[in-house]
Amino acid sequence: MTRLLASVLVTLFLACLALVASAEPSTAASNPSAKRPPSPQEVALASPVPIWQRGGLLVEQGGRALYTYTPDTPGQSHCDLPCEALWPPHYAAADAKPHGPFTIARSFDGRPMWAWQGKPLYRWISDRKRGAAGGDGVAGVWFLVRVPPELKTAVTPYFPMPMPRAGATLSTPSQANLSRKR
């Protein structure tokens, strides 16, 4: 009798295992129709503006810091051509639209450029590598843009992206994405 009971229990146990193994998985990893969270790169490429945050600082596509110039007025750059040679404006596409704390300003020659809460944004020519931020405090008028804690969610985290080739400029993340698909 004990042998028969043991045999029945083993058979029942194996049947339960087979039933569990054949059941439809419920985890998102094994269910292709379940929506997975976007990768950091997908989040960065979906940014509505070509500006991100890295370590609490605003950065451009190459991961180099962005700066403001004290003499600028809201929406208007006062950095002239010799100034722009050292501090290139962070130009915006002609059809760029403001988004959150990011606004559109005009460069010295009238071209649209990105601004942070009305303050035009620039790079420093000496910042050559990703993570470079050496222009803070230059001449007492150039300052890094630090993202305050209350606006951290309004700025997309930075993810390393390819730099445009010499002579080419990618003004929006969607253009950067398209150039990789070619």
Report, as an integer, the average pLDDT of 149-166.
82
d(CA 20, CA 139): 70
pLDDT digits (tens, 9 = 90+) for 43-91: 888 888 999 999 999 999 999 999 999 999 999 999 999 999 999 999 9
Q: How far apart are CA 157 and CA 18, in angstroms?
A: 46
Cα distance between the two ends of the chain: 73
The pLDDT of residue 21 is above 80: no
66 or 165, which is more confident?
A: 66
Cα separation, 170 vs 4, whole angstroms: 76
**Predicted structure pTM score:** 0.70
58/157 Cα distance (integer angstroms): 9
What SS3 state is found at 57? strand
Q: Which residue has the higher pLDDT, 9 or 121?
A: 121
**Confidence at residue 2, expressed as pLDDT on a 0 to 100 scale:** 67
Task: Look up tokens 């020519």; give the residue.
Answer: 125
Name the burial class of residue 97, with classes exposed (0-12), middle (13-18) and buried (19+) by CB atoms within 10 angstroms of its CB: exposed
Chain length of the chain: 182
Q: How confident is the model at residue 25 (pLDDT cuts 50, 70, 90)?
A: low
Per-residue pLDDT tens digits for 102-155: 999 999 999 999 999 999 999 999 999 999 999 999 999 999 999 999 999 999
Residue 37 one-letter amino acid:
P
Task: Find the mean pLDDT for residues 155-159.
Answer: 92
